[in-house]
Structure 1
Amino acid sequence: MGVREYPSRWGWRKTNEVAARVRRTANPMRTLRLWLTCELQRPPQRRHKRSRLGDGTAVKLRAERPDHVWALDFQFDEIAARRRLKLLSVIAEHTCEAFAIKMDHSIDADGVVATVEAIAAARGAPSHLRTDNSPDLVVGAPRDWCRLSGTQTAYIEPGTPRENGHIESLNRRLRDECLNIEDSANLTETRVVIENRVLRLT
């Protein structure tokens, strides 16, 4: 199998930026030549429209001011020991500021509430909380916290991550620029790496 069978998701400028970060130095023109020679350009992909379900409440909601809408989402990874790693991201949609990226081997509903509550203690509770339909986000402790804090929920339709686009963008960049590059030996090392990178993603 050749390199061209694995086209890059990045352009040559982003590729050079990552190369410079890893090697401390990189020649942009050499990166461009290699990128073109190896045919790393990703061919354009056709996007198919999906029919929308429900009343589209989450889609119509737009953040109009800071702390108007916060978004939450999970993603998963593995450390070198093949243990699963679960990450919870919390972002303010209006400012695109990442409040927290909590990571552990397991994060349940109580862990979600503890993370959101710590942020709200410093900033105040948001008007709306946008999440998907993960069991750790829609039932039990998170729903009770929203009710007690006066925060309204905006659940996206199942299978439509584009309705939670701000945090999906953050998670995609976190995976491309950190999780897919770094091979951490343990949870503590992963936390240090992500804390050092998260400021570059927001």
Structure 2
Amino acid sequence: MCCDWAISIRRACGALNFDRSTHHYTSRRADQAGLERRIREICEIRVRYGYRRVHVLLEREGWGTNIKRTYRIYRDLGLQLRNKTPKRGVKAKLREDRHMAVGPNDVWAMDFVHDQLATGKKLRVLTVVDTFSRYVPVLDPRHSYRGEDVVQTLERVCQKAGYPKTIRVDQGTEFVSRDLDLWAYSKGVTLDFSRPGKPTDNAFIEAFNGRFRAECLNQHWFLTLADAREKMEDWRRYYNPVS
């Protein structure tokens, strides 16, 4: 209108009954492209995280966003969790940025191995390996494991062996728990998650678990949980100096 009739903005706004302040308004909203990219990266790695836990990680990294904005972006990107089992080939962060460990306690790898007692009662063994020295700080069998049990075992071990910089884990429920996440954050430990369905992302622990099963689990009968702990600890002590 200003160009066609060669009139000022004031007269054009007056003729249209349009507030000039609205015409001159400039949005002060910060560019959210970087925030969208970071939320997507977090969800690709931590595939079971909802928007609330994504927001906690963003706060730790200093993004300074509120939870409503996090939820809006999370929803607009279509990242909502589904109850159905995801198909194979779920996208996750590529691992080009992974580097080899350069010293002890630089990178640990952690996983579970399943076995049973002579009575048929199930066992779950938490296995941990230092990927640089191949030292095994702990083999901890229990009948069942929760996130808080993993934290309890790691804290007990780390007080003696020291805290690692990074722990490589899969997407198991115990490893994506709030308890482990909070422990890792408070201790300055990075949890490096494998891609779903990609055990080769954590090849060190897979190789160790195969040896552990062949040399220990397949060679013994475990009568009780205490018996299993004793025999596994004897094997761990044998394995560490020899390997």
Q: Normalising by structure 2, report the TM-score.
A: 0.58
2:230 is the alignment partner of 1:185: no
SS at match of 2:219: coil
Residue 98 of structure 1 aligns with which residue?
136
Give the superposition deviation at 1:95: 0.5
2:146 is the alignment partner of 1:115: no
Residue 156 of structure 1 aligns with which residue?
194
Structure 2: runs of 5 or more not aligned: 1-88
Amino acid corresponding to residue 199 of structure 1 in structure 2: R
Residue 73 of structure 1 aligns with which residue?
111
CA distance in 1, matches of 2:203, 2:133: 14
Cα deviations across residues 81-130 of structure 1 (Å, max 9, x unaligned)? 11000100111111010000001111211110011111222233211111
Aligned identity (percent) is: 27
Residue 125 of structure 2 aligns with which residue?
87
Structure 1: runs of 5 or more not aligned: 1-50
Q: Retained in 1: the 8 A contact 2:140–2:153?
A: yes
Amino acid corresponding to residue 143 of structure 2 in structure 1: H
SS at match of 1:97: coil
Q: Retained in 1: the 8 A contact 2:93–2:195?
A: no
Amino acid corresponding to residue 188 of structure 1 in structure 2: A
Alignment coverage as a number of residue pairs:
153
CA distance in 1, matches of 2:153, 2:123: 17
Q: Normalising by structure 1, report the TM-score.
A: 0.70
- The partner residue of 1:133 within 147, 161, 171 is 171
Structure (1 or 2) with the larger CA radius of gyration: 2
- The partner residue of 1:143 within 174, 181, 186 is 181
Give the superposition deviation at 1:178: 1.4
CA distance in 1, matches of 2:95, 2:192: 7
Cα deviations across residues 26-50 of structure 1 (Å, max 9, x unaligned)? xxxxxxxxxxxxxxxxxxxxxxxxx
Aligned-pair RMSD on alpha carbons? 2.1
CA distance in 1, matches of 2:179, 2:99: 23
Q: Retained in 2: the 8 A contact 1:71–1:130?
A: yes
CA distance in 1, matches of 2:209, 2:238: 13
In structure 2, do the counterparts of structure 1 residues 147 and 177 end up closer, same or farther at CA, with 3 Å as the change threshold?
same
Bigger fraction of residues in strand? 1
Q: Retained in 1: the 8 A contact 2:90–2:196?
A: no
Q: Retained in 2: the 8 A contact 1:170–1:201?
A: no
